[in-house]
Amino acid sequence: MSAPTDATPLPHRVELERHDHVLVIHLDRTDKRNAIDSHMTSALDAALNEADDDPEVRCIILTGGERAFSAGTDLADGAGTPTERGGPYGVIRRSRRTPLIAAVEGIAYGGGFEVVLACDMVVAHRTARFGLPEVARGVIPTCGGLFRGWHSLPVTVAKQMVLTGRPLSAQRAYELGIVNELADDGEVLTTALDLAAQVSENSPLSVAESLTVMNDVLGMPEELGWSRTDEATTTVKSSEDYREGVAAFLEKRSPQWKGR
């Protein structure tokens, strides 16, 4: 007789859906606007590992719900430990040979937008919004938001997003080049699947090699970005403003900044 166990099954945080050579990963925490906790990080990492290791998967789509792609890190519980293969959220620092498309409806804020920046292409609903509101919480973007936006955005717009915390509309993001395709109601995932099909009909080896070279070249200057982000994060997390910002957010009140 086997010994009884008190282990509690992990909550579902993602749902997987296969369309021929395309794997769709649905973020599934709609009651929390797909805020990323440790369980979602683990689930995302496992799903992306599965896709990375399956030669039949030629493209991946990451999507959320109608109200939110993702609101970023769960400030109450944290996003858990970065994973071995994917880094933060299981995706931010992943070396992929399989293209990843973000299909965005609603908001992609904070870490949610940084996940979008870690993808290769973006399809967005016309009412979607992208933002880095960390400074309004007494924290800073830690998952590439301080430098990856410059790959597609003018530097002045990237600075505006970081320093004001105000969101960017999908239309503006499309005009500036972050978003590849805009879609109407009920068409976001369909449009992303069409884009994924265009990728999948090509030589898998040619696609993988091309993506690897492009991401390697883009990643060359990122090491400085990561090291400086780590230094700034250490400074901010030891401050009174950090504690006040998080407390104010959880208590649903305006923060009282001290500047220290």
Distance CA 39, CA 35 (A): 11
Distance CA 161, CA 149 (A): 9
* Annotated catalytic residue, options 56, 134, 223, 244: 134
Handedness of CA 174, 32, 111, 139 (dihedral sign): positive
Joined together, the tokens standing for residue 181 give: 């395709």
* Annotated catalytic residue, options 114, 175, 181, 251: 114
> Which candidate, 231, 39, 47, 245, places its Cα nearest to that of 134?
245
Question: What residue type is 163 in one-letter code?
Answer: L
Distance CA 197, CA 221 (A): 31
Judge contact between 49 and 97, C-beta under 8 A.
Answer: no
Distance CA 50, CA 19 (A): 15
Joined together, the tokens standing for residue 180 give: 């590849």
Q: Is 134 annotated as catalytic?
A: yes
Catalytic annotation, residues: 114, 134
